[in-house]
Amino acid sequence: MTQLLSNPRLRYLADSIRKELEWLPKDLRFRFEHRSDRMPPVPPPYLRFRVAGDYGVKWFHESGRESRNAFESALSGVGKTLQDFRSILDFGVGCGRVARWMEDLVPRARLYGVDIDPPAIRWCKRHIRYATVTRTSPLPPLPFASGTFDLVYSHSVFTHLNEAYQDEWLAELARVTRPGALLLLTVAGETPFRQFFQSNPTHPGMLEYAKRRDHDGVLFVSDDNWTGIFPDFYHSAFHTRAYVERHWSRFFTVRAHLETAMLGLQDIVVLERPA
C-alpha cells in the first residue's frame, strides 16, 4: 500500500480501475440515450481522462463538439470554413475527442490523425474509421510528404511541451503543410496560468514560475498533475501572447491570437504557412 501511494504511475493505474467501475453505469446510460447518434462511440473513462483531464462522459462528448465549433469560429475570422480544406491533420488526435465530430468532412476531405499515445491510437483505429490515424514518435518526423496538408488543428498539445519540443514540431508542421495552409493551435495563455498560480500560491517556486514566464514568454512546469500518466517530456506549458507572436513568427505568419477561444480556457492561435 505504501508503494502504491508513493508511486505516481501506480496511483494513476489504481485510480483508472476505480473510475472505470464508477463510470460504468453512467456510460451505459449515456450510450442508451445516444443510441441513435450517427457518430463513433465515446471512448472509455481512462482514455477520456488522458485527453480531457476529466472522466466525465457528457463533458467529453460535448467538449468535442464545442472544440470543433471553436475551430470553425477561428477560421471564420480569416474568411474560411472547415469545408474549404481537402487534406486535414488532427495533430494530437488522442482518442478522438474532436475527430468524432469531423465525419461530415469526409469524403470531400481526407482526414488524418497522429498521436504518441498507443491506447488512444488503437481506439481510434477501431472506431474512427473515416480517418487515417497513426502512432508517431515524441519528436519528428511525421510519416507524411512535404506539403501534404492545407489545414492542421491541434487541441492542447503545445500546452504540454517544452520550448525545444515545440520548436521541433513547429518546424515539422511547416514542412508537412503547403504554402497558404492554415494551422489552428491552442496554447495556455493568461487565464490558465492565472488559475495555475492561484491553485497553489504558497508553493515555494510559484513566484519564480511567474517571473520566468514573464521574462522568457514561455514556461514549462514538470511538477504537475500529469506525473506518472505521460512521459517526462509531457507536462504543462504556458505562453504569453507576445512570445507566440514573436517566436512562432519564425515558422508561420500569425494571423490571429484568440484569447480563451477554446472552451473558455485556452487561446487559439491562427497561423498561415508562408509561401
Per-residue model confidence as pLDDT tens digits over 52-62: 889 999 999 99
Does an H or E element contain 185, and which?
Answer: strand 177-187
d(CA 199, CA 83): 40
pLDDT given for residue 204 in this prediction: 77
3-class secondary structure, 138: coil
Cα-flanking dihedrals φ and ψ of residue 232, to 5°? Answer: -65, -25
Residue predicted with more confidence, 51 or 213: 213
Q: Which residues touch 32 (CB under 8 Å, ≥6 apart)?
A: none
Out of 177-186, 194-203, 252-261, pick the least confident. Answer: 194-203
Residue 176 in this model has a pLDDT that exceeds 90: yes
**C-alpha radius of gyration, the chain, whole number:** 19
Q: How confident is the model at residue 72 (pLDDT cuts 50, 70, 90)?
A: very high
- The set of cell numbers assigned to 179 is 504554402
> Given the DSSP bridges, would you call strands 132-135 and 110-115 parallel, antiparallel or unpaired?
parallel
pLDDT given for residue 11 in this prediction: 74
Share the mean pLDDT of the chain: 93
The sign one gets for the Cα dihedral 48, 69, 126, 136 is: negative
> Given the DSSP bridges, would you call strands 87-91 and 177-187 parallel, antiparallel or unpaired?
unpaired
Tens digits of per-residue pLDDT, 75-130? 999 999 999 999 999 999 999 999 999 999 999 999 999 999 999 999 999 999 99
Average pLDDT over residues 142-146: 98
d(CA 101, CA 113): 13
Tens digits of per-residue pLDDT, 216-265? 999 999 877 766 677 888 999 999 999 999 999 999 999 999 999 999 99
pLDDT given for residue 200 in this prediction: 81
Residue 27 in this model has a pLDDT that exceeds 70: yes
pLDDT given for residue 12 in this prediction: 73
Out of 49-63, 144-158, 190-204, 259-273, pick the least confident. Answer: 190-204
What is the model's pTM? 0.93
Q: How confident is the model at residue 6 (pLDDT cuts 50, 70, 90)?
A: low
